[in-house]
Each structure stands twice: as C-alpha cells, then as structure tokens.
Structure 1
Amino acid sequence: MNDHYYSNKPQSASNRKAFESELRGFNLRLTSDAGVFSRDGVDYGSRVLIESMEIPRDAQVLDIGCGYGPIGLIAARLAPQGHVKMIDINERAVELAELNAQANGIHNVSFAQSDLFSAVNGETFDVILSNPPIRAGKAVVHQLFVESWNHLNPGGTIWVVIQNKQGAPSARAKLEEIYGEDEVAEVGKDKGFRLYRCMRK
C-alpha cells in the first residue's frame, strides 16, 4: 500500500487514538490517526523544536507540515496576540489539527491542505516552523527550504528540526546557501536531532 504521512489522501482505515501530552508547560489533549505522522505520540524531533522555538506574542506564524498539530498549537499558545496558519498535504492531518485546536480551546489558528506552500501563495510570516517530511525525499525538503525565503518577512525566522543521520549536514548547507552562513545557527542538539534557526535579513 503506497500510503505515507505525506500522502494527500491517506487510504489506511481510520483508527483514531487520543492521548495527553505536556509540551512547553502546556497540557494538550490530542487525537491522532492512522496515516498521519507519529500517530502514537508527539515525536522527539517535534519536542526539540517546541521546547526551543522563539515566538513573539504577536507573531504571524506558519506551521508547514503541521501533522495533527502539536507544534502549531503550542506556537498559538505562545503568541496569544498573533495567529498561526497550519498547513499539511495530508487532509486527514489537517482535519485532526483543527479538531485538536477545538478540543484545547485554541482559536488564533487557521488551517489549509497544502502541497508545500501552495495554500499560502503571496502570504508572508514572522516565523515558519518545520519538522520537514524527510521520507518525502531530499528534493522535497530542500524545495521547502528554498520556497520558505519568499514567505518570511524581513527579520523573520524559520526553525527547522532534523535528525543528523537523516540529512542534517546537507540541510544546514542548503539553508546556508539560501539564507547566508551568518544567518543560520544551530540552536539545539538532542539525541541526534539538530535544530536550526535561520533569519531572513
């Protein structure tokens, strides 16, 4: 069965799972499902990103590849005067992210099904957050990096978490090519994951 978390319409039978997760001091009630990324709980890479990401209280934020929503929902908690747009190619993931926002009383969010940045064409953000879809392939991940530049406001940042063994060195090299060596910083490192913050001048 050719069914991945980056499929636009998962074919696997729905089998929802509810759990609670404490992230950045907030307790979230989350529902996941078959056919979405990290169904059984918030993955470690997302946790690394969530614990270190810096979100101004009034920021306009994009969570690209939002899955069922943990990164974007915490970002929304950290930006009560801002707004978080949550997008994913996977329609089931987008439905779950919206359900989880409602379940946790988080309202400064919006949702769209999107192949990379297609649903936010022409929009720009103060912060972009990404735990990129490594299994979709290096070309897709690097395309995400390239397109991110056009969706950041000047002074805006993109935060990317990636496993060392799944391409962190080449990811950093690509980000430096796009943003400039001086604007790419490794701001976190834990259990083989690297967290990069890149600023658009």
Structure 2
Amino acid sequence: MSEHYYTSKPQTASDRRSFAVELRGSRFKLVSDAGVFSRDGVDYGSRVLIERMEFAEDANVLDLGCGYGPIGLAAARLAPRGHVTMLDINERAVALARENAEANGVTNVEAHRSDLYEAVEGRRFDVILSNPPIRAGKVVVHRILTEAKLHLVPGGALWIVIQNKQGAPSARAKLEETFGEAAVEEIGKDKGYRIYKAQAPD
C-alpha cells in the first residue's frame, strides 16, 4: 500500500505532476507530488465543496487540511479583499500550496505546517473549510469538527465535505452535538458526497 498522505514528513520519492484546472470560474495551473492527497488531480469531494462554498469578498478564511491548495486558492479568488490561511500536517503539501499560490499570482494567502489547529491557536476566522483527512481516522476528523467552534468568530461557519460511506452521518451528528441541531445545514449532495455547514452562534 502506498504511504499515507496524513503524515508530517512523507518518505515517498518525489514524483511531481503539473496540471491545469478550472475551479469556480478561475483557471489554475497546479503542481502536486507523491505523498500528498489526490496527486493526480483535484478530487471530486474538493470540487463539490468549491462549487458550493459561499462567503463575503472580505472574509478571513481557514482551509484546514489544504493539501497542495485547490480549496484555499479557489477561496482566495472568491475573497479578493479577504485572506486565506492554509494548514496541513504534511510539509510537502504545504510547500506545494505555497508554490501553487505564487505560480498563480494568488497573494492573499499563507500556508503553514500544522497538526490540526495548532498553528492558529488563539485565532478566529469567518469561515473554516475542510475536506477532512478520512484516512487519519474518526478521532482526528471529529476533532476538526468540534475544535472548529473555538476558531470561528460569532456567526462564522464551518463548511465540510464528506462521503456518506466514509462517515457523513456520524459527522453530522457530531456537528449537531457541537453547534446545535438548528445550526447545522446540509448545503448539497453529489455522488455520495455531503456538504455540511455549521454556524457558530452570534
């Protein structure tokens, strides 16, 4: 089995790939590599989230588990007067996210290696976006959901995408337990993927 992408220092030999993609009406040329999530192209779940996510043009956004950056870079184009912070535990992914931001002229972003929210301790965001690292296990995924509440401004929102067969029902239950049932909404579904939005209290 190939090496797990949810690791801080991938040992897999580098095998860089370059590809062009359109995300939410913007063209990007992205570089990916072995040892990172969805090396061969932007995965379907991320695309579903990118197509549905909504926030203000001046939003302060966190992309947690950014990989080589497709969600965060698309978010930065949607929030030209805002700022996007991209985090990933995988140092190779973070280096690629920075490289892809620079190559595509996206300047309102920063990328840092972080174990979940570690690098943004004490910071709060208008929006948190995540395609959670399912392979990291349920405990890690549920920490992403529950700890998001500590990193949202009043009225801020967490947006996640998750497959039914990979734990969408339990993720929704955890969101409702954390944010309250009325604060959680299914924004859309596509080919077994679910997008949930959980809003922090005002």
Range into which the TM-score falls when normalised by the shorter chain: over 0.9
DSSP-derived class of the 1:8 partner: coil
Percent of paired sites with the same residue = 68
SS of the equivalent of 2:87 reads strand
1:23-51 Cα shifts (integer Å, max 9, x gaps): 11111100000000000000000000000
Tell me the secondary structure at the aligned position of residue 116 of structure 2: coil
Correspondences of 1:80-99 after superposition (within 5 Å): 80-99=80-99
Secondary structure of the 2:7 match is coil
TM-score normalised per structure 2: 0.98
- Structure 2: where are the runs of 5+ without partners? none
Q: Which residue of 1 aligns with 2:29?
A: 29
3-state DSSP class of the match of 2:37? coil
Aligned residue number for residue 183 of structure 1: 183
Q: Does 1:136 align with 2:143?
A: no
Tell me the amino acid that sits aligned with residue 69 of structure 2.
G
Query: Residue type of the partner of 1:152?
Result: L
1:69-104 Cα shifts (integer Å, max 9, x gaps) = 000000000001100000000000000000000010
Tell me the equivalent position of 1:66.
66
Q: Give 4+ residue runs of structure 1 displaced > 4 Å after superposition.
A: none
Quote how far apart the aligned CAs of 1:2 are: 7.7
How far apart in 2 are the matches of 1:72 and 1:55? Answer: 13
Distance apart, 1:155 and its partner CA: 0.5
Per-residue CA deviation, residues 156-192 of structure 1 (Å, 9 max, x unaligned), is 0000000000000000000000000001000010000
Residue of structure 2 in register with 1:46 after alignment: 46
Q: Aligned to 1:97, what secondary structure does the other structure show?
A: helix
Structure 1 match to 2:198: 198
Q: Is residue 123 of structure 2 the alignment partner of residue 123 of structure 1?
A: yes
Shift of 1:3: 2.8
State the one-letter code of the partner of 2:114. Answer: S
Displacement, 1:111? 1.1
Which residue matches 2:111? 111
Residue number in structure 2 paired with 1:165: 165
Question: Structure 2 CA distance, aligned partners of 1:139 and 1:2?
Answer: 22
Q: Which runs of 5 or more structure 1 residues have no equivalent in the other structure?
A: none
